[in-house]
């Protein structure tokens, strides 16, 4: 039998501070409440589900005029091209010639010690990443979101069978779904939205046809749950690429309430089993504003999974505007 233990207790490992001298009452209030209502649910360490998307995934990195490529190894020649340096005029030495090549660094003739020197071209939003305030605000009141926002009690909301191929998550759908999630509003701290029935493989190229939140749905989520610290989604962005500037759309709605954002999650391994049928909606005539969604869809679909979210930041993907990360989910 696997060992059961409490999730990490962030009350003893983190201090509520921000990286600015300007106070942030909204965020401080939410963090204090999150610590007061810290989850005591037990988790199985061996049952953690990896929600991370590799920064090498082509579909997960917006190809902005080749400025934001997915993570990839590049050769010396490609590096010089990126730096706009003429390779004919560039003096090479033995060290630079070893880029992307293996070398034996063993000090003994009796055995080898092979290492490879690589250069990786990437960007701060490749793969799973945590948007930071400078991504959408020129001079934000806080420069980084707090670590606690990414770690703790979390619900994953299953929308993939309710969207009916719509790319927009409407306010009406979100309102109706949360009628059935019988958790007190003040105890909902982190919400992740599952929108994909089938997650793409890493070699699939980028397309703009991914699911995103409407501004109205984002406003509802940001203001309906007083202690909400984090919103996450299994697509490259909570906003569609044509929503610019993003500060005036979903990113801005969550920023007003200092809610952190996780994007490019892989929720394909989060499944619902042995779930009891849901009760009917309070208002059976409610229109979900989606082509064929009705209240019966909500009754027959399992809607959420609750667990503990753990986020580990990637030190090789740190940016002022975003931080690459590895995310694990431990179902209760």
Give the DSSP per-residue string, 57-106. -GGGS--STTSSPPPEE--HHHHHHHTT--TTT----TTGGGBTEEEE--
Q: Domain for residue 94, yes or no?
A: no
For residues 219 and 313, state if they share a domain: yes
Q: Domain for residue 107, yes or no?
A: yes
For residues 192 and 52, state if they share a domain: yes
Greatest mean pLDDT among 46-50, 187-191, 281-285, 291-295 lies in 187-191
Pairwise CA distance, residues 62 & 68, whole Å:
6
For residues 130 and 179, state if they share a domain: yes
Lowest mean pLDDT among 17-26, 238-247, 248-257, 290-299: 290-299
**pTM score, two decimals?**
0.80
Q: Domain for residue 11, yes or no?
A: no
pLDDT of amino acid 40: 52
Q: What is the mean pLDDT of the chain?
A: 81
For residues 304 and 182, state if they share a domain: yes
Higher model confidence: residue 97 or residue 129? 129
Q: Domain for residue 248, yes or no?
A: yes
For residues 102-114, average pLDDT: 90
For residues 76 and 198, state if they share a domain: no
For residues 225 and 325, state if they share a domain: yes
For residues 107 and 150, state if they share a domain: no
For residues 113 and 245, state if they share a domain: no
For residues 161 and 232, state if they share a domain: yes
Residue 293 pLDDT > 50: no
Pairwise CA distance, residues 124 & 323, whole Å:
6
pLDDT of amino acid 88: 56
For residues 117 and 169, state if they share a domain: no
Strand stretches in the chain, DSSP E: 49-50, 72-73, 101-104, 114-117, 120-121, 129-131, 152-158, 168-169, 190-194, 212-213, 230-233, 260-263, 304-318, 322-331
Q: Domain for residue 234, yes or no?
A: yes
For residues 104 and 149, state if they share a domain: no
For residues 105 and 234, state if they share a domain: no
Structural domain count of the chain: 2
For 69, other C-beta atoms within 10 Å of its C-beta total 18
Q: Domain for residue 92, yes or no?
A: no
pLDDT band, very low/low/confident/very high, at 302 (cuts 50, 70, 90): confident
Residue numbers of the domain that contains 115: 72-85+99-121
């Amino acid at each position: 039998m696997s060992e059961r233990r409490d999730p990490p207790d962030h009350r003893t490992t983190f201090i509520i501070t921000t990286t600015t001298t300007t106070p942030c009452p909204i965020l401080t209030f939410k963090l204090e409440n999150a610590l007061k209502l810290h989850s005591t649910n037990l988790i199985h360490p061996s049952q953690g589900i990896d929600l991370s998307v590799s920064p090498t995934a082509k579909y997960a990195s917006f190809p902005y005029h080749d400025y934001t490529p997915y993570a990839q190894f590049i050769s010396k020649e490609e590096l010089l091209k990126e730096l706009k340096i003429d390779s004919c005029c560039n003096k090479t030495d033995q060290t630079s010639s070893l880029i992307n090549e293996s070398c034996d660094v063993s000090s003994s003739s009796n055995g080898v010690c092979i290492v490879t020197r690589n250069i990786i071209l990437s960007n701060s939003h490749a793969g799973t990443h945590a948007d930071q305030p400078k991504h959408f605000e020129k001079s934000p009141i806080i420069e980084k979101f707090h670590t606690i926002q990414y770690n703790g009690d979390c619900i994953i909301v299953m929308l993939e069978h309710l969207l009916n191929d719509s790319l927009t998550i409407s306010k009406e759908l979100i309102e109706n779904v949360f009628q059935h999630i019988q958790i007190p509003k003040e105890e909902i701290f982190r919400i992740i939205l599952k929108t994909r029935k089938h997650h793409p493989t890493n070699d699939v190229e980028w397309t703009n046809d991914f699911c995103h939140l409407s501004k109205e749905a984002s406003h509802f989520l940001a203001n309906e749950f007083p202690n909400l610290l984090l919103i996450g989604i299994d697509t490259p962005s909570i906003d569609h690429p044509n929503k610019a500037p993003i500060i005036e759309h979903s990113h801005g709605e969550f920023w007003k309430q200092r809610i952190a954002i996780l994007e490019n999650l892989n929720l394909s391994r989060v499944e619902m089993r042995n779930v009891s049928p849901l009760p009917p909606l309070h208002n059976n005539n409610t229109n979900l504003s989606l082509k064929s969604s009705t209240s019966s869809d909500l009754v027959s679909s399992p809607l959420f999974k609750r667990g503990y979210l753990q986020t580990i930041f990637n030190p090789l993907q740190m940016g002022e505007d975003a931080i690459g990360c590895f995310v694990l989910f431990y179902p209760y």
